[in-house]
Structure 1
Amino acid sequence: MTSHTQHGRVQHTARSVAEHAAAVADLLQQFGAADRTETLPLSQALGRGLVHGFLAPLSLPPFANSQMDGYAVRSADIPDGGTELRIMPPVPAGSSPQPLAPGTAAPIMTGAMIPAGADAVVPIEKAKPDHFLPEGDGAIVTLPATARGTYVRVAGSDIAAGERALAAGTCLGPAQLGLLAALGMPDVEVYKAVTVLLVTTGDEVVEPGRPLPPGKIYDSNGTLLEAAMKQAGLAVRRTGISTDNPAALQAMLRTEGQGADLIVTTGGVSKGAYEVVRQAMADQPVDFLHVAMQPGGPQGLGTFDGVPFLGFPGNPVSCLVSFEMFLRPALSELLGTPARRLPLRARLDLGEAGGKLTSPGYKHQVRRGNLRPDGTVKLEGGESSHLMHALAGSNVLVHVPAGVTELADGDEVEVWML
C-alpha cells in the first residue's frame, strides 16, 4: 500500500488486514507498559492478563494422597488370591498419619496423605466387609491383590515445584485463578484494565426508547460495541450521540475523554460529504484509510490530543467486525486479555440448492454463520454490513481470505466462535 497520508486525508490504496492489525497493536503498545500494572487479590483478577510468568513454588499435590475412600496398603503384603490384614487407625483428610506396619491396612479417606510404607489404595467397595469397621483391637479386613501405585496420587503428578506454572500474558480465567490459589498465592500482578471512551456519531441516529422520526434509526452500535468491549475486559465510558458538527464532536471528546486510555468512534470515517469524525480530526495526527476487508473497510487510526484513537465504520456489523479483527487481537497480544479467538475449521453448508459463496479477490471477507455440532457452518444473511438480525442469529465469524473468490458447498473455511 502507499505510505501514510498527511493528517485527515484518505489513503486510496487498501491496506491489508494484517498490516492494519499490526498498526493498531503498535498504536496501543503503551498499554503494556510497566507502569500500567497492579496487584490484585485473586477474587478481583478474573479476566485480567498475567504480567509475569512464574514457577510453581510447591508441588501439586504436595504429598502423595488417596484418590479413593478405601484402605492404604503395602501391595507386597497381598498375594494374588487376597488376604486378611489387621486394621490400623483411620487416616482422615488433613491428618499426618503414622507409618503403615507390615501386614496391616489403614482406612483412608479421599485426599488424605498416604502413610509411609503404603504404596497402594484398595477401594472400600472391594473390601470384605465393604464398609469401614469401628475402631478396635483385632479388627480384620479381607482385601484383594492390588498393584503398586493403584489409586495413589503421586506428589507432583500435576505440577512439580520449579516447573513453569503459567506464562506471562496468560488470561486469568477460573482454572488459572484456581491454580494460583492451589499454589498458595493470595494475589497476582496483572495489567490494568483499559478505559475506553465510546462515541456514536450521526444526525440520523436516535437513542433507543425515544420517538423515531422519519429518516432516523436507533443506535445499535453503542450497545453492540459496549457489550463486546465489556466482555473483553475493557472499562467502557459512553457519551451521548454526537451530531454531525465537527466542533461539537471535538468538544465532546475533550470533555468526556479526560482520563480515557483510548477513544473509539463509530461512523463518520468514509468519503462522504458529512464525515464528522474525519472533519473533527483534521488537525490531529489521524489517518483515514481503507482496509481490504468486507465489511469494515473504512478505518481511522491515530491520536486525539495524545490519546490513542480508533475510528470504526458506522454500520453495526462493520463496527463489530472491526473490533474483532483489530482491537480485540491487539489487546490479547499486549495484555493477555481477552483470550484470543481460536480458529476452527468447518465445512460450508450452502443449503439444498448448493450454489457458491463469492468474494472480491482483493478483500478479506468476514461473513456470519452458525457452526453446528457436525462441523458444518451455515451462513446467516448476506454480505451486507447492516444485517443485525443475521448477526444476532450467528455464533461464528466465517473468514474468506484475500485471494479466494469462490467457495462451494462442502469447502473448508476458518471460523471464529463468538
Structure 2
Amino acid sequence: MAGNADTRFVIHGGNPINGDIRVGGMKNAATPVIAATLLVRGECVIDNVPHLSDVERMLDILRSLGAKVEWTGDNELSIDASGADIGSLDRQAVKAMRSSILLMGPLLARFHEVTIPEPGGCIIGNRSIDTHLHALKSLGAEITHNDDETYTLTASSLTGTTVILPEFSVTATENAIMAAVMASGTTIIKLAAAEPNVVCLGEFLNAAGARISGLGTHTLVIEGVSELQGTSFQVIPDQIEIGTFAVLGGLTKGTINILGVRPDHLDIILLTLDRIGVRYELKGDVLIMLPSSQLNAFRLKAMPYPGFPTDLQAPFGVLATQCQGTSLIHDPLYEGRLGYMNELTKMGANATICDPHRVVVTGPTPLYGKEIFSLDLRAGATLLIAGLIASGETILHNASIIDRGYECIDERLHKLGASIERVD
C-alpha cells in the first residue's frame, strides 16, 4: 500500500474508464473511532476500516501504549485498550500525523495527564489547535506549552460544562466529545461540527454506553457516564472518496458504478454535480456515473457540513478545467490549499490564483502529461485524475501521500481500465 517519499505514479491518460468500484470506509471517521477505543474497557470490533497509512499510524500509536490490536478480517479490526499505559506513548509517531491530535481528549480523560507533541500531517496552511485546547480547558484541563514543542495537559477530573467552540472544527468537536463522555455531570457543546464523521464517532461511543444526544446538529448534550464497554461497530463509507470517483466519472466519459454509498451524506455533492451538468443515477446504495456531454462553469465555496466539503474542492478544481466558461472556487477554511492549481497549469489549465483562498479557472482546456508533484493528500488525488484525462504520460511525484486517504487507489483504478504504474 504505502510507498516512500519518492514514490511516483506513471500515468498514461485517455484510457476508457468503466466498471464497478466499492467505496471504502471513511478515514476521517475511522481514526477518531480508533482513538476513542482508549476510553473503552474491553474489546471493540470495528468493521469497514480502510487500510490506509494514517490508520496504520494511529494503530501503531495504540500499540505503543500497550493496546491489543489485530486485523481480524479484510477491513475488520479488534482493539482492546484495557491495558494501555501512557508512559510508553510513541511521541515521534504522534508528531508524524495530524489526526493524532484526536488522542488529546481520550488520553486526558483516561490518564488525567498527557504530554503530546504538536501533530504533523498535510501542509495545507495554518491549522491551529487552539480550538482543541479551548475545549479541553473548558472541561477543566490545565495546559502548558513546553519549549520542546509539546503540550502537557493535566486534569485530576473533568467536569461537565457548556463549551462554546469558536469555530466549526471537526476534530476539536471530536476531542471535546471524547473528553466529555466520562466527565462528571452534563456537557453542552455549542457550535459543534455536524459532519458525518462526528456523528459516526458519537454513534460508536453511544454503542459503548455513552449518552450523547444532538448528533448531526450544532448543539450536543453529553451526560457523563462512569464506564464504557466493548462493542461492535461499522465505520461509515467515505463521501470524499465517493466525490472523487464521481469527478473521475464526470471527466472520463465512461460509466462507473460506485458501490456502497450513503445517499444521505451526499446532498451538496450531488447538487453541485447537477448544476455542473455531470450525469448520474442513484439506485439505492449505488451511484452510477454516466457519460456527460457538456460541463458548465460553476461557483463553489467550501463550508462546514452540510455545506460543500473542503476536501473535495481540489477534485472539483480539475473538473473546472473541463467546464465551459469561468469557474470560481473559494476555500475560506484553509489558506494555501490551492497549490495543486500550479501543477494543473503546467499541464495546460487556464487558472489564476487570486489569493490564498480563491482561484478562477477558465475552460475547457486540454491537459497534457507532465512531471508534477503532490503537495497534499487531496491534491495528489486531483492530479492523479488530471493524469488520467491528459494526453500522453504524466509522472506524479510524492504519490505515496495519496495512500493516506485512498486505499490501494492505483490498483482499484487499474481494474476500471486506468493505466497507472507505481514506481518506488
Place the TM-score, normalised by the shorter chain, in its bin: under 0.3
Which has the larger helix fraction? 2
With a CA cutoff of 8 Å and minimum separation of 6, indicate the structure with the bigger relative contact order: 2
Q: TM-score, normalization: structure 2?
A: 0.27
